[in-house]
Structure 1
């Protein structure tokens, strides 16, 4: 099958689908082809504008027919891209389809950084398919070991019930990819706390993916969305067990089978708070602190690597982190080829309060902006960098608390001279504001603080807080009154 497209998109995740939707809205008379290796695509739903720059949304998986039925000028091809012939502007897929294009955007995301490849006891968590495999294994599990300290690891540890969890992290505090040690202390009581509140059901249809013969085994599905763990049954085979033991400042040194442990005369540790006092485990992990723990399986949740390896023949400029370099128009160094989401690395000079993190919120922003740039490029027009790249914002949920991150929320790259302002109410809220040179540079807001819009404006408007900073976090004072 031969197809012709004004715009082609590779990838059916959040970045790719957002790009297709934006292209369709901006230019409904063009032909758009989206190629996805998965039979399900990811769409943004329930979008809420929390403030001018902060968005809250859900991600819903839907069959490819949904996109074609809602966007008449979009055709979805369910196949993996085998060749990107950028010189001749042709894409060739695994099923023999050829797609000629004028502009193409690569949105193939990232793949899990699995701690050990091809080990049956190690499961990398990244996409819906790997979560489904995790659920299946968990049903028969007494104990698991989770390696990683990012968002997925944090949510996983909190959500698992009926199974003991050993959480091994390389940092001195939990969830350090997002929050500092102070916020980690705020969250810590939640780790082993029994969850009593019932969840609100998600009012959406859940689609599942049958065994997909179209997708090669080395191609992952789209990244998990903001509510990936909601309404998922993540229960082991133990009654009422929600016990977590954390090992700090460690990495995995070795993986052993039980017979290897016995042969080497090594001792298996058992946390004193755990019920499963046994050495009968199918797999054991030795940590860099010398401790050895047994488990039914190991979860690797150590982040992602950009999926740029499949385009190695195209001579893209690759950043140190493995992403395809893009300029401030989301263009690669190859003519008429754009990239967005986890696959790319922003290589322009960033705004003072923006950083790139491979998050679903940024995948949406990049996909949308790439579409605007592609339309402008086709019309030989210029486009200015979207305002969403002026300020880093991210809204998520950890341990059932609303979490909002703004600007240089952990002081990234600020150097010396930072002043940290804190407001902390145990079990209610945690607020951190970072001041430098009299200006707000970043913030962490946990709980219902109602400060997000005010802090966003303080950062963007570069307001001098020298005279007001002692009142900035006073809950009895409305900060906006100072600037009326």
Structure 2
């Protein structure tokens, strides 16, 4: 590029009329946006790139450890926005907020008034906390905080430091880790389900993890330390091929699930989990010692009350006594605690709890608003919080506009039955790298078509071509989380008779199997495939082994093939189970031996 073509196309710069001369534009400095940039540095280092970030800091992965073909463990770190210039040789950063975009003119408009033109656009704007929508008294309440990223985690740490009691609501990864990480403060955890961490684990695993949580609380009360690794989960692995004296501590349970005995799984979206994020933001309250934890099941927040409103409400008050026990009703009111707290939370079960702070860990919704309701703009999925619908190449319904991460709804046809979308940082990372490859190949295909005379100058001029038509009503397909919409995308480039050797690399293997590794209450937890029997129609077999610092659950479908697994603790079985799920091998004849510690399952199926 020479002369004006070498300048980035802001609205105050002379520009070439051909959109092929424009840079790739990435909107968002989160995990998916930065991962996309990192992949473009490998796949298209010659291309100019602009990354637009509303924040002065960006988020990247570090300490990446590949555990299996589909499972990767990593940490999260933040960098000042200028760090991006070390990632890609031709990147420039525009800090600002996108207010709208014009797909016909191939430009996005910033709050600063600048317009940036693109050859390819990638929307990686992530998601925002749901908060407490529809809860009276919650709007603009300074005593309510959501946790999503490092900035909100740091704010939570600051607020907790002066708190005596915190109420946590939500039952996903963030809520669980807040309840686990809080020290020196009384914790009241209100969940709408009948067991903890319902977004990720079944009641059996939840019971195991809850015991780990309470043991950790008791250990910390005795040791007077900050959150530590759970001793049971970190106990020495007994091994799967040797007989040891500790085998008497394990138990195997085998059961069949039928339509009559199982509640059909509903669509689940988890919060964007940051692995071990609470280590960087220790949540220490103002009380000496470690406070206490109470979990209230099968309830949600009905209202938030001011102290004045609480005095006139005929509600049952819940309170801690001096010995750490819990009292309610007249006994608590007699304690004279009305007005002692800045906010009172009325639950749907009629109980009321006073606290200093309410932490809303209720999930997230896609941050797609600036791109919706525009002629020729990308199609969204209203049933999924208006996530931008994409196909397997991360393409939206708008020509030359990609999207990835939490902002999208995975809407490609014929999705793998073992893969489901959950808004997790692990999936944002995979989508970011995948969309980077797809963008590079898309540009390569179009440039080759131009060189071969398949594209005329008129086709590559701003506004010179038609925006891809918005498809008709989408169809649906069955998946691990129920029925999801599908989107059939057709771009101009699909009509080019151009074959690229690397086309197959666009179909990333990580979309064949859902896999996620994290820690719950200090216990390493790995989820594989249809880990809760999602999409199996309520007909499957469950084999569970508990003991020796481990909880292992295997889901076997009616066809005898392994469909999913939950591994809590240092089991070293993730690669074996991943291979068994993907291979489709019938394992029904092995029964309980599948999890017997005396059977070396890794070597048996090697």
| TM-score, length basis structure 2 | 0.73
The match for 2:356 among 266, 280, 296 is 296
Aligned to 1:395: 517
Specify the alignment match of 2:201 in structure 1: 179
Asked if 1:152 corresponds to 2:217, the answer is no
Task: Specify the alignment match of 1:213 in structure 2.
Answer: none
CA shift for structure 1 position 340 = 0.4
Q: Any residues of structure 2 matched to 1:14-33 within 5 Å, and which? A: 14-33=31-50
Shift of the alpha carbon at 1:241? 2.2
Residue 366 of structure 1: which of 400, 418, 431 is its match? 431
Flag the 1:366–1:70 CA change in 2: closer, same or farther, 3 A.
closer
2:422: which partner in 1?
357
Q: Could you tell me which residue of structure 2 aligns to residue 216 of structure 1?
A: none
**2:69, 2:227 → 1: CA distance?**
29
Q: How does 1:302-341 map to 2 (within 5 A)?
A: 302-314=362-374, 315-319=377-381, 320-321=383-384, 322-341=386-405
Residue 546 of structure 2 corresponds to: 424
**Equivalent residue, structure 2, for 1:285:** 345
Q: Residue 125 of structure 2 aligns with which residue? A: 108
3-state SS of paired residue (1:270): strand
Q: Secondary structure at the match of 1:405?
A: strand
CA distance in 2, matches of 1:264, 1:480: 61
Equivalent residue of 1:414, what SS? coil
Alignment of 1:51-450 (within 5 A): 51-115=68-132, 116-192=138-214, 193=217, 194-195=219-220, 225-271=274-320, 274=324, 278-279=337-338, 280-314=340-374, 315-319=377-381, 320-321=383-384, 322-348=386-412, 349-380=414-445, 381=500, 382-383=503-504, 384-425=506-547, 428-436=549-557, 437-450=559-572
Q: Deviations over 1:367-400 (max 9, x none)?
A: 1111111111112254542100000000001111
- Compared CA separation, residues 199 and 114, structure 1 to 2 (3 A): closer
* Partner SS, residue 313 of structure 1: coil
1:396 counterpart SS class = strand
Please identify, of 75-84 and 103-112, the stretch whose mean Cα deviation from structure 2 is larger: 75-84
Give the number of the structure whose residues are more often helix, by fraction. 2
Structure 1 window deviating more from structure 2 (408-417 vs 244-253): it is 408-417
Please say if residues 351 and 390 of structure 1, whose CA atoms lie closer than 8 Å, have aligned partners that are also in contact.
yes
Aligned mates of 2:276, 2:90 — CA distance in 1: 30
For the structure 1 residues 131 and 275, does the alpha-carbon distance in structure 2 shift closer, same or farther, using more than 3 Å as the test? farther
Secondary structure at the aligned position of 2:438 is classed as: helix
Query: SS state of the match for residue 317, structure 2?
Result: coil
Displacement of 1:295 after TM fit?
0.4
Indicate conservation of the 8 Å contact 2:315/2:350, yes or no.
no
Distance verdict in 2 for CA 1:241–1:198, change over 3 Å: closer
Q: Which residue of 2 aligns with 1:205?
A: none
The Cα shift of 1:87 comes to 1.0
Contact 1:16 1:367 in 2 (8 A): yes
Provide the aligned C-alpha RMSD in A.
2.0
Cα distance between partner residues in 1 of 2:536 and 2:273: 31
Gaps of 5+ in 2: 1-7, 11-20, 133-137, 230-270, 327-334, 446-499
* 1:151-208 deviation line (CA, Å, top 9, x unaligned): 000000011101101000010000111111001110112333233577899xxxxxxx
Q: How far apart are residue 223 of structure 1 and its match?
A: 5.8
CA contact (8 A) 1:151 1:175 kept: yes
Question: CA offsets per residue over residues 205-261 of structure 1, 9 Å max, x none?
Answer: xxxxxxxxxxxxxxxxx9662222113231111001231100101011111111111
Partner SS for 1:38: coil
Query: CA–CA distance in 1 between the matches of 2:40 and 2:22?
Result: 12
The number of residue pairs the alignment matches comes to 463
**Contact 1:254-1:286 at 8 Å conserved across structures:** yes
Q: Which residue of 2 aligns with 1:214?
A: none
Paired position in structure 2 for 1:208? none
- Are the aligned partners of 1:245 and 1:271 in contact in 2 as well (CA < 8 Å)? no
TM-score norm. by structure 1 comes to: 0.91
- For 2:140 and 2:370, locate their aligned partners in 1 and report how far apart those are by CA, in whole Å: 19
Query: Paired residue for 2:461?
Result: none
Instruction: Provide closer, same or farther for how the CA distance between residues 224 and 454 of structure 1 changes in structure 2, counting only shifts above 3 A.
Output: closer
Bigger Rg over Cα: 2
Range with bigger deviation, 2-11 or 169-178? 2-11
Q: Which has the higher mean CA deviation after the structures are superposed, 254-263 or 329-338?
A: 254-263
Within 2, Cα distance between the matches of 1:41 and 1:105? 16
Question: Cα–Cα, structure 1 residues 70 and 369, in superposed 2: closer, same or farther, change >3 Å?
Answer: closer
SS of residue in 2 equivalent to 1:294? strand
Q: Could you tell me whether the CA contact under 8 Å between 1:54 and 1:395 is conserved in 2?
A: yes
Residues 226 and 282, structure 2, Cα contact 8 Å, conserved in 1 = no
Question: SS state of the match for residue 184, structure 1?
Answer: helix
Q: Does the 8 Å contact 1:112/1:305 carry over to 2?
A: yes
Write the distance in 2 (CA, Å) between the matches of 1:223 and 1:452: 22
Give secondary structure in 2 for the equivalent of 1:371: helix
